[in-house]
Amino acid sequence: MYRALELKKTLTKTSIYFIFLFFSISVFAQKGKKLQIIESGTPLVSELNHQVAYDYIKLTNQLIMQNSISPANAARIHAYAGITLYESLVVGMPKYNSMTSQLDGFDMLPQKKNVENYYWEVVADESLHLVLDSLFSYSYSILGVSNFVRAGLDTLHFSNQKLFKKKYLNPSIYKASVNYAQDLATKIYAIAKTDGGYRFDIEDVVKKDYVHYIAPKGSTWDDNKLKQGISVQPTWGKNRTLVRNIHSYTKPAPPIPFSLEKKSDYYKQAYEIYLMSRELTFEQRVIAEYWRDEVNISYTPPGHTVDILLRISQKENTKLDRLAYCYAKLGVALNDAFICCWATKYETNCMRPVTYIQENIDVLFKPTFLTPPFPEYTSGHSTQWGAASEVLGSLFGYGYYFTDEPDYLKGKMLPRSYQSFEQVALEASSSRMYAGIHYRQACEAGYRTGKQIGQGVNDLKWMK
């Protein structure tokens, strides 16, 4: 299934409609505003609205969904896009620190100390266009002439260029802005190619990420027992994290020891999921489906989380510097949460509930939806949302009220409102138990680990 989804790279009518609708709305919004002509001087980053960054982030989510990007790789794309946006603007953000000396692998990125005379919207546009084009490029060979990813990015880029060349009239500053952005984005992508998550093309993706995995002796995970017959991304946990050594000090306690004895804690936790699946309330079924966030039908879990950030940014009318900071910080947390989670999964190699229950409790047991093909402990949803709740709480307040309604669920499910980021994180985590694809241990340990990862990201010196 997962290999088929990853290889589904044809341009569909839905893809064309999505891109057309996105740019129609964007252009319409721009036409409704009076264009401010900048003849001399350059506005500060803190004086600019966030629209140029918002449009790229929104488009990135849509391309992740249409291109069947895996959740772990979606988190990586958002992380490097966020870092690129932040680092390209931070020289013009006097309240913020560059992360070049703090993020692992970024020491080679030169840091400018003086505020340069740049057009910051041009810098944001150029840097995001180039780095996103590079991050998605592994799929281009199979997309061929139907390359809706590059078409979408280029269309947004050309639209912005047309607008900016009317707005910013000093050609030397404009050219310097383009050159600076392109140079920095190129260097960040070079760093990304060394982190372990780089894939040259689709064949490389399949070879590394969708393979039969022989678990170490004594493991209970066995992908031969799955319909897919593969394990997803068994080496992803070996990738370099952005926060140095964060897995070493956030690693969860070992899972409950495996046992077939009916009085054992392992059997009890499996039986809990079995009973839960038979007695689900209507609300629990809704929650399981709402947070399903599967590849190809959603923005994926990290994309869904980023979408919430975008909605809050619109609600709060954040400026460009603020969105760059929020996006980078959240992206780092999501990226490292998935790496740490995947490291734990393939260090513990735990059997999924569907296999244990069918073999030891009820052969007719079926989860709410198909169990993904990677080990059980810990839960990716729980880990990434634990990290996100800490980061978003630090940015907007831990008791922040918001309503969530991602585009891909409109007309299908009602919006859901939350009193805090912790509330949404715990709900998303519990959804995996309601779906019958995780034990309680994986959700609770993953959530705690995610909180620690989020705290580690918060502890970086983002502000001066």
pLDDT computed for residue 39 by the predictor? 54
Indicate whether 199 belongs to any domain: no
In a domain, 229, yes or no: no
pLDDT tops 70 at residue 23: no
pLDDT number for residue 42: 82
CA-closest candidate to residue 226, choices 356, 86, 80: 356
Q: What is the mean pLDDT of residues 45-69?
A: 97
Residue 397: count other Cβ atoms within 10 Å of its Cβ. 11
CA distances from 164 to 130, 158, 161, 167, 169 (A): 17, 10, 5, 5, 9
Q: Are 174 and 266 within one domain?
A: no
Q: What is the pLDDT of residue 368?
A: 93
pLDDT of residue 12: 44
Q: Per the domain annotation, does 17 fall within a domain? A: yes
The sign of the torsion formed by the CA atoms of 190, 194, 199, 201 equals positive
Contact 168, 52 (CB under 8 A): no
Indicate if 280 and 347 belong to the same structural domain. Answer: yes
What mean pLDDT is reported for the chain? 92
Q: Band of the pLDDT at 114, cuts 50, 70, 90?
A: low
Residues 186 and 307 in one domain: no
Long-range contacts of 151-157 (CB under 8 A, 24+ apart): 151/19, 152/19, 152/22, 152/59, 152/62, 152/63, 153/59, 153/63, 153/129, 154/129, 155/19, 155/23, 156/23, 156/26, 156/55, 156/56, 156/59, 156/129, 157/125, 157/129
Task: Report yes or no on 214 lying in a domain.
Answer: no
- Mean pLDDT score, 238-243: 98
Same domain, 35 and 104: yes
Is residue 183 located within the same domain as residue 244?
no
Same domain, 268 and 347: yes
d(CA 82, CA 89) in angstroms, rounded, equals 11
Residue 205 lies in a domain: no
In this structure, the dihedral spanned by the alpha carbons of residues 270, 272, 277 and 279, taken in order and rounded to 10 degrees, is 160
pLDDT tens-digit map of 244-298: 999 999 999 999 999 999 999 999 999 999 999 999 999 999 999 999 999 999 9
Prediction pTM value = 0.93
SS3 255: coil
pLDDT of residue 109: 76
Q: Residues 157, 271: one domain? A: no
Residues 381 and 315 in one domain: yes
One domain, residues 245 and 343: yes
Which of residues 192, 212, 229 is at a domain's end?
192
Whether the per-residue pLDDT at 32 is higher than 80: the answer is no
Q: Count up the domains in the chain and report the number.
A: 2
For residue 359, how many other CB atoms are within 10 A of its CB? 14
For residue 432, pLDDT over 70 is answered with yes
**C-alpha span between 375 and 438 (Å, rounded):** 10
463 within a domain of the structure (yes/no): no
Confidence of residue 145 (pLDDT cuts 50, 70, 90): confident
Q: What are phi and psi of 243, to 5 degrees?
A: -90, 125
Same domain, 129 and 273: no
Q: Domain containing 32: what range?
A: 9-192
DSSP three-state, residue 342: helix
- For 18-40, give one letter per residue: b (16+ CB within 10 A) or e: bbeebbeebeeeeeeeeeeebee
Domain co-membership, 258 together with 184: no
Does 162 lie in the same domain as 82?
Answer: yes
User: What pLDDT, on a 0 to 100 scale, did the predictor assign at position 37?
Assistant: 73
Q: Are 243 and 460 in contact (CB under 8 A)?
A: yes
User: What local confidence, expressed as pLDDT, does residue 117 receive?
Assistant: 85
d(CA 254, CA 256): 7
Task: Indicate the residue among 158, 177, 192 that finishes a domain.
Answer: 192
Is the pLDDT at 25 greater than 80? The verdict is no
CATH of the domain at 414: 1.10.606.20
CA 242 from centroid of its chain's CA atoms: 14
Q: Is the pLDDT of residue 116 over 80?
A: no
For residue 3, tell me if it sits in a domain: no
Domain boundary, last residue among 192, 222, 247? 192
